[in-house]
Structures are given as C-alpha cells and as structure tokens.
Chain A
Amino acid sequence: MYLTREEERILDGEVGEAARRAMELLVKLGDAYGAERMVEVSSCHLVSCVYNVVYDSGLEIADMFYRMGARFTVPTSLCTASIPLEDAEKFLFPDEWVEKQLKLCMLYRAMGGLDNWTCIPYWNMNVPRYGEHIAWGESNCVSYANSVIGARTNRYASYIELCAAIVGRIPMIELHIPENRRGDILVRVKGLDISSMTIKDYGALGYAIGLVSAGGIPVIDGIPEGVSKRMLRAMGAAAASSGSVALYHILGVTPEARSLEEAFGDDKPEDRVEICVEDVRKAYRELSTIEDGSVDLVFLGCPHYSIDQIGMAAYLLRGRRIHPGVEVWLATDNLTYTLACRMGYRDIIEGAGVKFMVGSCAMNAPTYTRGFKAMATDSAKTAHYAPMQAKTDVFYGSLEECIRVALEGRIAR
C-alpha cells in the first residue's frame, strides 16, 4: 500500500519504537485487505483497555507500549471498564480482576486516554463530526458514530484501535470508503404504532432489525423524523448485538439517507424485508428467558445512562426502598455521575439502596462470579448477552418495569 513520507518515517522507527510497532500492525492490516493508502483519524475509542476482552495478554501489550513511551496523538476515549471505578469493594468482585483492570486504567491514563470509561463517548465527550474518519471499537459506539452522526469507522478491536490512536491513522478499508457505506437491504417497518413506542420497544425493534440484516447495511423505512437520540441509541445497540450491524441508515432521518437514491447509491437494494408487530413480539420472546418469578439482580445502564435517564430513575425511586433480596446496579460514566451528584439524583437513588456502577457495567464486570440466578434489565443488548456472560436468566423490561421488580423482588404480573 502507498505510504506518505511521514508514514514511512514512522514505519522506519524514526519517531520511536511504539509508533513503529503500531504502524507495522496497521500496514499489515492494510496490505491484507488491499488498502490503497492510510487515512488520518480525528479520534479513537478503545476497547483494548477492557480487561474482560483482552485478558493478561492485553496487560502485557499495554505495558509494552507504556514502557516504549507511547502517547496518543488524537483524542482517545476509553470504553466501559471491567470493574466499577468508584466503591469497587461494594460489588464483591475478585481482587485479581480489580487489580488487573486498575493496572490497565493506570497504563491507558498514562498514554493520554480520556479517563471517563464509557460506552457513550459520543454523547458528550468524544463527539465526531459528519464525514470524519475515526477508529472506534465497541459495537454500540461504532453503530452510533457511523449511523446517527455519519462519521466513518469499521468495528475495530484487539489493538487495531490502540495502534490507530498512537499513530493517528487507519488503513482506508471498508466503511472508510463512501461506496461501501451504501445500503444493501431495505427494511420496511410496518403496522407498528411508532408514535407510542418506548425505548424498550426501540430496543426490541433494533434486535429484530439485526436479525434480518445479518451483517449487511440495512436501510430502514418507517421511522419518524422526530425520533430521539436515545431511541436510536437503544435501537442501534440492539441491532449490533443480534446482527453485528456496524452501520444502518434511516430514510429521512440519518445523514446519509435523505432519499432512497442516496441510501442505495446507484445500486438497487439486494433484498427487501418487512418488520411487523409479530417480528417485534418475537424479539421480545427471545430477549427474555423468564416471564415471572423472583429476581436477584436488576441492571440499568446499557448503554451507559445519560443524565436524563438517571433523572427518570430518581423520579421513580424517590422515597422508596428496593427489596432486600435484590441488588440494583445503575451504570454510568464518571462525568455523568458527577453531574448526578450535583443535581441530587445520587442521594435519592443511593438512598433507595441502588449501587452506582461508575465507569463499568454488568457485562464487562465479572458478574458471573456473584452467582446471581435471575436478572432484570431495560437493555436489549444486556438481555442478549446476560445468559452467556453473567450466567443468569433474564427478564427484559422497561425502566418502570425494572424498578417495580427492584421494589418487589419479583417480576410483577
């Protein structure tokens, strides 16, 4: 692949060993996929800093880069950590996990990572602009940045995004190239009462969209122009879990799909499908493994709660107390947590017995070590992964339903 003089200097080790290694990996990646050249990125979002996806080798590689004096050359946010960064001891996770994640935190902070540890960097801290090239990891982040904002990234992980953060470049492959961003399947949403749909319904709809898209780029028709960011966040996270959807378009809503022609380019859709009430019902059935009975963990905050959702939880929990047989975890990032403290939400929520899970979440933390039997969650993504990752049964409900479970200790029928 073609390299600029600057890129050749980096590859020759003229700006240090860390950058040389990073460039070597990116050049090998570009060569493997026939990239013509590199492209500069304006930001990165790392998942290689999360212990439960990189294990001990991830610590070794981070430590190696740290010792070589690696520094990020572009703004780089860090994804949701494997342990809570405040009051970790309240969660009773194994000491070894805590130590290893804390070591990763230290190393990535030293390289210049934004010390916020969140899966919604796009909400307020690392917000790309339309058309910018970025190198991001974590499926909901990639989906949101690509689809809602129109920035350009593939799903990166396992040190590719780390290397990009060190040299500020990525090979020009797949979704970095405009022609590859066009839709290949038209998904018509039919017969749903869209105006009354909740976040929970958008999660189930996203799950259904992921199932029919199977790794392709869906163009969705039938979602109203006024749909909110938080609805799209829930929908995109669910579609990424069920169908690895890294990019979707919504006709008349997302920036690369103002019309059918723009969404598909010169190509006709290869496939057309309809999603109706029955498909969403089916998604609901697949997302819950239980419909009644007792629950011992309620998890809120996947993707991480933004301040409006924390305010909603505070409203529902004011003056109440959760059932003694249940633990309730609410996940958010450091910045939003600080805001929640200043606005009085933390006192209300913690007063009800809920634990804030700052900078972490139930799927990245070693929740399985706690031996919970049944979890309730308002996240389609967590519901999808919980049986495997947390080894629990799962009930998928709205925030209101989950709070009721928290108060009663069981699923109310």
Chain B
Amino acid sequence: MSVRIRCRRLTSGVALGEALVSKQPFGFWGELDPYTGMVVDVHHEWYGRCIAGKVLIFPYGRGSTGSGGVIVEAYRRGKAPAAIVNLKTDFILLSGPLSIEVFYGGRLPVVDKPERDIFTLVRDGCRVRVDGDRGFIEIL
C-alpha cells in the first residue's frame, strides 16, 4: 500500500528515487560539491553522502545566494537530486530547478507544504515518487 501526501507544486515533472531525509536545513552552496554530488559540509548529517538521483527531503534551504546555481551545475554534470521536498521552499533554491526547466529543458520536480508530517512518514531509503505536475508525493 502506498501513501500519498498532497503538496504544493513548484516545478513540473515526475521523479522516482530513494529518499534522503534530514530535519536540518540544507543550503547547497558550500555544502554540496556539484562536480561529484557529494555533501561536503562537515556540519551537516549528510556529510560524505552522495545526493545524485535521490529524493531530498529537508525542511528548508539556508544561507547563500548560490544554492540555485549549484543545483544547475550538479544537474549539468548528472549529479543533481531526482526531486526535492521541503516544508517551505525559498526561491533562492527554486531558481535552480526553474533554470533547469527553462535553460536545459530538463525536469527537477520540487514540492513543498506537505499536508502530513513527512519526517515521521518517510525514512532514509524509502522509495518515493514526487509528482510536481499534480502536487503530491507517494511513498511506495
């Protein structure tokens, strides 16, 4: 039985991947190496993990202006996450997936404001489908 959670849709596309879940905010710039997809911020619990192809679940972005640019560069090198799910997504972060759509013709679905508590429902390694066209995530 899969569980479906309604969310706000921010960018279009549908993606399926393994969940990587953290309650810590994640800022990408200075925290992710876009050349390898590895998290390089020693203060983050994802330190040393590879985010390429994962469904990233974290509360919100943080810090720098550069988040979107890092996501675009990671995408260009095949190291981007498959999808992003937040409690609230700021547009510094969203500018990355939006640019992937407009400038590279790709898709990196982002949804936020889930109607149920994703941190209790989704664990690391769960298979999750993110539907940015219709605005929900599905835990498989």
Contacts and interface: CB of A to CB of B under 8 A. Distances in A.
B101 interface: yes
A78 to B, nearest CB: 14
Contact of A61 (B67, B98, B99): B99
Interface residues of A, number: 34
A254 B73 CA distance: 39
Interface of A is mostly: helix
Contacts, number: 97
B25 to A, nearest CB: 10
B72 A57 contact: yes
A211 to B, nearest CB: 13
Nearest to B42: A388
Q: Among B68, B96, B99, which residue has the most Cβ atoms of chain A within 10 A? A: B99
B92 A157 contact: yes
Contact of A138 (B10, B65, B68): B65
Contacts of A58: 69, 72-73
In this complex, the interface size class of chain B, counting residues with CB under 8 Å from chain A, is 20 to 34
Nearest to B110: A32
Interface in B26-85: 29-30, 34, 62-73, 75-76
A28 B66 contact: no
Nearest to A385: B30
A156 B62 CA distance: 14
B15 interface: no
Contacts of B64: 53, 139
A377 interface: no
A33 B72 CA distance: 20
Contact of A244 (B30, B63, B66, B91): B63
Interface in B87-140: 91-92, 94-96, 98-99, 101-103
Nearest to B62: A244
A57 B69 contact: yes
B11 interface: yes
20 contacts: A24-B102, A25-B99, A28-B98, A28-B102, A29-B91, A33-B91, A53-B65, A54-B66, A54-B72, A55-B69, A57-B73, A137-B65, A139-B65, A155-B65, A156-B95, A157-B65, A157-B68, A173-B91, A244-B62, A244-B63
Interface of A: 21, 24-25, 28-29, 32-33, 47-48, 52-58, 60-61, 64, 137-139, 154-160, 173, 244, 385, 388-389
Given A32-B10, A158-B65, 17 more contacts: A32-B91, A32-B98, A47-B66, A53-B65, A53-B69, A54-B66, A55-B72, A56-B73, A61-B103, A138-B65, A155-B92, A157-B65, A158-B69, A158-B99, A159-B103, A160-B68, A244-B62
